[in-house]
Amino acid sequence: MNKISAFLDQICLHISCKAVHSEVRQELSEHIDELKDTYLSEGLNEDEALNKAIAAMGDADVIGTRLDKQHRPQIEWSLLLLTVLIALFGGAAMYFIGQDSGQIQFPRYLFFSGVGLAVLLSVTMFDYTKLFKLSWFFYAAVNLILILGLFGARINGSHRVVYFAGYGFSPAGLLHFTIIPLSVWLCRAERWSDFIKLFLLAAFPMVLTALYPSMINILIFAVMLLVSAAVAVLKSNTLQNKKQYILICCLFLLLAAVIGFFLMPEYLRAKLRAFIDYNADPLGAGYLPMTAQKWLMASKPIGATNFDILGAPIDRTMPNAANEYVLVNIITKFGWIAGLFLVAVVIVFLVRLFLTVSKVKNRFGFFLSLSACLVLTIKFVFSILMNFNLFPFADLSVPLISYGGADYCVTMALIGIILSVWRRNNIVPAGKRKTGQMKEKNKFLSFHDGKLIIDFKKK
């Protein structure tokens, strides 16, 4: 065994990432044992079989150097560049729109852009696996902040805002950070009772968020939770009647929507009615969607429109032109081609998100990045559809593009989570395995017809 340890030690000297040392040592030692057993069956004695098995593995320095190249942190550059591209587009839009609008304080926007960039880089470089043992801490922290936020200032009699260093933000958006404990629990879910516990634990922060109230955050979170749980069920090897579960989830979502409609405040129901027919209440809940439609119809393919409403520009007719209706503002100022180009870039960004998540090997990393990906996707889709009057008006800005502060940083943190998971995709083991059990999917070593094959390209 000292010879095997010396051989493995020499290999690991070349592998800079210590996190993979145990996995490499286990897999290599298992293959040495396989080779040794083969040579023993051919009539060699114990010492001869061990020496020949180690020699058959090859040069330890060459193996270590090649494995070091394979197990290095990686950056998903296309995703990072698309994030920067959308953020720069949003920044340019804020600058030019701010020249004619009193809604935008560009220095404030630059400040939060810098903070958001720092959050993105910090989360990306952070080892996400450390979050696994902190699931209950994050669950308690998010709920505590949500409870304390209920004592914050009320805006227009509804939304509660907490002020810090002169800047106000709504803690309701922090609901999405419960994806950290939820991802841990999804990893451990093996029975139907585990999923019931998962939904019950998720219900508490949702109830707190409803007290703000922030129904749009609850909707985003609920859809994300159901989709993530459905994926966990489909990937499970122990659960039965999976199709019935998916059907129950759909019925549960429908039932929740019906109950939510009757329990929601009157002003939210008015927004839903305005979505169906904004002309029915043109001076109330239907005003914003009706005005957005007027500006969209008057916009040009290229360049700013000459249209106005009673001599007033868009920022004076729509108080949400820099936030919720920023895409309408962009189309009005720069034309339909600019707006549709931005939507196309967002679609490419979202596709890239899902492609990246689909390649994650670690189970916890997969569910964590999937949950973050779903939250971002739902936010983008709902907010863009809202700008075209294809979704009811809600307190939901377009991620990375709208004029915002805390929401911008939350978006950057969610993207950072996905980049962090991908950065360690070749480092973190796919999951726990029983002693002596080879990992079929991710092993880079195989033994066929008496020959050892080391696949250095195996991801």
Local confidence band at 427 (pLDDT 50, 70, 90 cut-offs):
confident
Across 213-240, average pLDDT = 85
> In the chain, what percentage of residues exceed pLDDT 70?
85
Q: How many Å apart are CA 80 and CA 312, to the nearest integer?
A: 39
Q: What is the pTM of this model?
A: 0.82
Local confidence band at 207 (pLDDT 50, 70, 90 cut-offs):
confident
Question: For residue 240, is pLDDT > 80?
Answer: no
Local confidence band at 307 (pLDDT 50, 70, 90 cut-offs):
confident
CA nearest 372: which of 420, 418, 423? 418
* Range picked from 134-148, 215-229, 335-349, 440-454 for highest mean pLDDT: 335-349
Across 386-413, average pLDDT = 89
Q: How many Å apart are CA 341 and CA 356, to the nearest integer?
A: 23
CB-based burial of residue 243 (10 Å sphere; 0-12 exposed, 13-18 middle, 19+ buried)?
Answer: exposed
Give pLDDT tens digits for 100-121. 766 677 888 888 889 999 999 9
Q: How many Å apart are CA 404 and CA 170, to the nearest integer?
A: 12
pLDDT reported for residue 435: 33
Q: How many Å apart are CA 213 and CA 270, to the nearest integer?
A: 15
Local confidence band at 414 (pLDDT 50, 70, 90 cut-offs):
very high
Map tokens 């994050």 to a residue.
138
pLDDT reported for residue 442: 45
HEC profile of 123-154? HHHCCHHHHHHHHHHHHHHHHHHHHHHCCCEE
pLDDT reported for residue 448: 52
Cβ atoms of 62 and 10 within 8 Å: the answer is no
Q: How many Å apart are CA 355 and CA 358, to the nearest integer?
A: 5
Of the listed ranges 107-116, 277-286, 436-445, the least confidently predicted one is 436-445
Spatial neighbors of 53 by CB under 8 A, at least 6 apart, are 32, 33, 35, 36, 38, 39
Across 188-212, average pLDDT = 85
Map tokens 């940083």 to a residue.
409
Could you give the 3-state DSSP secondary structure of residue 165? coil
Distances (CA, A) of 348 to 351, 402, 415, 459: 5, 19, 15, 24
Tokens of 284: 């109330």
Of the listed ranges 72-81, 197-206, 314-323, 341-350, the least confidently predicted one is 314-323
Question: For residue 459, is pLDDT > 60?
Answer: no
Map tokens 């305005």 to a residue.
274
Of the listed ranges 75-89, 264-278, 423-437, the least confidently predicted one is 423-437
Map tokens 């994926």 to a residue.
231
Give pLDDT tens digits for 1-51. 578 888 888 888 877 777 678 777 888 888 888 888 888 888 888 888 888
Across 372-383, average pLDDT = 96
Tokens of 347: 């679609």
Cβ atoms of 94 and 330 within 8 Å: the answer is no
Between 316 and 416, residue with greater pLDDT:
416
Q: How many Å apart are CA 285 and CA 265, to the nearest integer?
A: 13
pLDDT reported for residue 440: 42
Q: How many Å apart are CA 86 and CA 326, to the nearest integer?
A: 13
Question: For residue 209, is pLDDT > 80?
Answer: yes
Beta pairing partners, 163? 168
Across 381-404, average pLDDT = 90
Could you give the 3-state DSSP secondary structure of residue 309? strand
Question: For residue 255, is pLDDT > 90?
Answer: no
Helix (H) or strand (E) holding 439: none
Distances (CA, A) of 326 to 101, 125, 396, 454: 12, 31, 11, 53
Question: For residue 388, is pLDDT > 90?
Answer: yes
Neighbours of 175 (CB within 10 A): 24
